[in-house]
Amino acid sequence: MGNSALYEDLIKGYDKQLDHSGVSGERLAKRLHALSEIGYTEPGGIKRPGLSNEEKQAKQLVRSWMEEAGLSVREDGAGNVFGSLPGRSAGPAIASGSHVDSVPNGGNFDGPLGVLSALEVVEAWKSVGFVPEKPYEVVIFTDEEGSRFNSGLTGSRAMTGDITEQEMNQLRDYNGEGLEQVLDTYGSSLDGFRKSVRNLSELELFAEVHIEQGKKLEQENQPVGIVSGIAGPAWMEVKFSGQAGHAGNTPMIGRTDSLVAAGEFVSRLPQLPPAISETAVATVGKLDVSPNGINVIPEQVVLHVDARDIHKEPRDMLVERIRSLAEEVADKHGVSVSLQQNTSITPVPIAEELQQEIAAVLEEQGIVPVRIPSGAGHDAMIVGRHIPVAMLFVRSKDGISHNPKEWSSLSDCVHGVHALKAFIESRMAKS
C-alpha cells in the first residue's frame, strides 16, 4: 500500500458512530497519513531512524498539532517532546504517548498511533470544553526502535537516567558516528542529553497505546486489549565444543559432534517455557557452526537464546532450566558446554488495579477485556521501572509489524482512543 492511499484506506469502512465525545476518526486518519509521507519508502513503508532528519520532521509536525490543540510544548536535550495541558488542580501529571521513529522499511502504526491517540484525547476535551482534573502530557520519545544505534529506547532511557556515561561514549550509529556527533547534527548536544533526566515525581502515571504486533485480539475478535505486563528479555550465549574430524573417515561411534548436541538442545528448548509459566517464551534466533564445512564434523556451535517472561521469578527460573538442559545435553553427547548471560532486563508487570480499571472501561464500550502479555519492549517498559504504567493494545491485522503491511483499521484505532480517554478520565477522578 502506497502512502497516497493511506487516508482513503483508513476512512473506507470506518464506523462513523465512533465519532462522539469529541473524538474524530477523520482527524486521526489525516494525521496518520501526514506522518506516513515523512520518510516514505517505495513499497509503502517508512524509514525514520532515531535522531534523523526524518524523525525530527515528524516531531515538528506533531508539535504543530500539539500547539494548535493548546498544549505548551518543550523538547529536552535527548529530543523527547512534551506537550503539557494544565488541570483544574496542580500536582503530578498523567502522561501518554509513544514514538515516531521506525525500523528500516517499517509500518505506519507502530509508535505514531500511540502519540496521535494521546493527542486525540486533548482534541476531544478541547472540542467539548472539558478541563481535566489533573495536568496531562502528550509525549514523543526519541529513538525507541534502536535502528540508529542497535540499542533502542534511547529517549525514555535518557529521561529516566537509565543510560550510563559508559554507554553514551560507546554508542556508534550505522555511519560509525558516536552519540555526541549524532546529537550535534540533530541540533542538540551530549551535555543537553545528560540534562534530559527528569524529576519523575512530576508524573503520576504513563499510559501507552500501541499496536499489538500479535494475533491474540484478532483471534478473540476484539479491537482493543489490556497489556498484563511487559516481558524482560534474558539473552544467553551457549557454546557447545566437541572435536572436528573428517565426515567420511570418522566412525559414528565415539564422535563428539557439537552440532548434534546443539540440535537436541534446540529441539527440546520449546518444552521448557510452558512448564514454568503461560507467558514465558524462549527462542534460539542465532546459531554459528564452526568450522562450518560440508565434510567436517562440527567442532563448535555457538547459539543465542532469548528467554522472556512478564514476571522476573519465572523468567529467572526459565534461565536456570535452560542452563540445566544445556549441561544435560552436553553430558549426553560427550561435548563440553559454557553459558554466558549477556543481557537481563527486569520485566515490568502492570498493576492489577490498573488492569481492572481498563477492563471496566472496555466493558462500558462493549468490548470483552482480553489480557495480553507484551513480548516486545516499549517506552512504557523503561518508564515503568520508576512510576506506574499502563498499556492498551490495538488489534493488528495478521499480527504483522515492522513491515509496510502493518495495519490496524481506523475503527479499531478509534476504539483505542476512546478507551485511553475514558481510562485517563477515571484515573484523574481518583485523588
3-state secondary structure 91-159: CCEEEEEEECCCCCCECCCCCHHHHHHHHHHHHHHHHHCCCCCCCEEEEEECCCCCCCCCCCCHHHHHH
pLDDT of residue 121: 98
Q: How confident is the model at residue 2 (pLDDT cuts 50, 70, 90)?
A: very low
**Domain end (from 326, 344, 362):** 344
Whether residues 42 and 142 share a domain: the answer is yes
Is 379 known to sit in a ligand binding site? no
Domain harbouring 336, CATH code: 3.30.70.360
Burial, 263: exposed, middle or buried (Cβ in 10 Å; 0-12, 13-18, 19+)? middle
Whether residues 240 and 223 share a domain: the answer is no
Whether residues 271 and 317 share a domain: the answer is yes
**Domain end (from 325, 344, 363):** 344
Is 246 known to sit in a ligand binding site? no
Asked if 115 contacts 225 with a C-beta cutoff of 8 angstroms, the reply is no
Is 162 known to sit in a ligand binding site? no
Whether residues 153 and 75 share a domain: the answer is yes
pLDDT of residue 343: 79
Number of domains in the chain: 2
Q: How confident is the model at residue 416 (pLDDT cuts 50, 70, 90)?
A: very high
Residue 88 CB neighbours (<10 A): 10
Whether residues 396 and 284 share a domain: the answer is no
Is 110 known to sit in a ligand binding site? yes
Whether residues 72 and 39 share a domain: the answer is yes
**Domain end (from 293, 325, 344):** 344
Whether residues 82 and 149 share a domain: the answer is yes
> Per-residue pLDDT tens for 193-240?
999 999 999 999 999 999 999 999 999 999 999 999 999 889 999 999
Across residues 307-327, what is the average pLDDT? 96
Is 15 known to sit in a ligand binding site? no
pLDDT of residue 431: 63
Per-residue pLDDT for 1 more than 60?
A: no
Domain harbouring 212, CATH code: 3.40.630.10
Across residues 83-94, what is the average pLDDT? 97
Whether residues 148 and 273 share a domain: the answer is no
Whether residues 76 and 184 share a domain: the answer is yes
> Per-residue pLDDT tens for 374-384?
988 899 999 99
DSSP state of 89: S
Whether residues 222 and 242 share a domain: the answer is no
Whether residues 185 and 272 share a domain: the answer is no
Range of the domain at 313: 232-344
Across residues 307-336, what is the average pLDDT? 97
Per-residue pLDDT for 25 more than 70?
A: yes
Q: What is the pTM of this model?
A: 0.88
Whether residues 225 and 236 share a domain: the answer is no
Q: How confident is the model at residue 4 (pLDDT cuts 50, 70, 90)?
A: low
